[in-house]
Amino acid sequence: MLKVASYNMRKGVGLDRRRSPERILDVLCEIGADVIALQEADRRFGARTGVIPPHLLDERSDWKAVDFGMRAASMGWHGNAILVRKDATISWRAPIHLPALEPRGAVTADVTLLSGERLRVVGMHLDLSGLWRRRQAAAVMAHVDAAPERWPTVLMGDLNEWSAAAGCLKDFARHYRFAATGPSFHARRPVGRLDRIMVSPDLQVTDCGVHMSAAARKASDHLPIWANLEAVG
């Protein structure tokens, strides 16, 4: 069994308008996932510096950031980042360029945990426009399908989809199953299921939810979501 999580961390700016990477790490430590997809993990302007400094991640957590080699100061690509346990092995990683009117991207990595579980992870933050979301969903799935080797796959992120089962959700559902995590936005009073975890047929979700601690309700305008996964068969 392994645990995954997804978190739109809003560039570390909480509902008190204070930027605190330490608070984001506190929330992630409460969840204790093996693999984490982050959205809005980099600052928006300039060098797109990662919100969580590398030394802070190293000193105060059990994770390391997957290096996608796109921008020296960034944690990921267009704000998308993947954290894995420090003892995990990364055998492949890549940015995914998404069609969009404004800069958008996704990231993917093949992760082998110390316990031997293998997982292909995709982290994404899709567009506000429904038409572009569907194009981006198609691009993500095409990228996964083009990989030379099949791995158990989990797709995670902020899909920006308010509908219950239409748009890009309908597209993803043709090939992936959704974890029933629940509403995660807005953190103060969650009503929207904008954040999603989806798994390939060779994985099953044994438990899942929305992390609603006091720290999480203040650290971002989104709440983190999580799921426990097991291989089928």
**pLDDT tens per residue across span 91-111:** 999 999 999 888 888 999 999
- In this prediction, residue 170 carries a pLDDT of 96
Q: What is the mean pLDDT of residues 171-178?
A: 97
DSSP state of 217: H
- In this prediction, residue 100 carries a pLDDT of 86
Asked if residues 45 and 84 have their Cβ atoms less than 8 Å apart, the reply is no
- In this prediction, residue 94 carries a pLDDT of 94
**Beta-strand runs (E) in 40-141:** 63-65, 81-85, 89-97, 105-112, 118-125
Q: What is the mean pLDDT of residues 150-169?
A: 95
Give 84's strand partners: 35, 64
DSSP state of 211: -
Domains and CATH numbers, the chain: 2-231 (3.60.10.10)
- 112-153 pLDDT tens trace: 999 999 999 999 999 999 999 999 999 999 999 998 899 999
- 23-79 pLDDT tens trace: 999 999 999 999 999 999 998 776 678 999 999 999 999 999 999 987 777 899 999
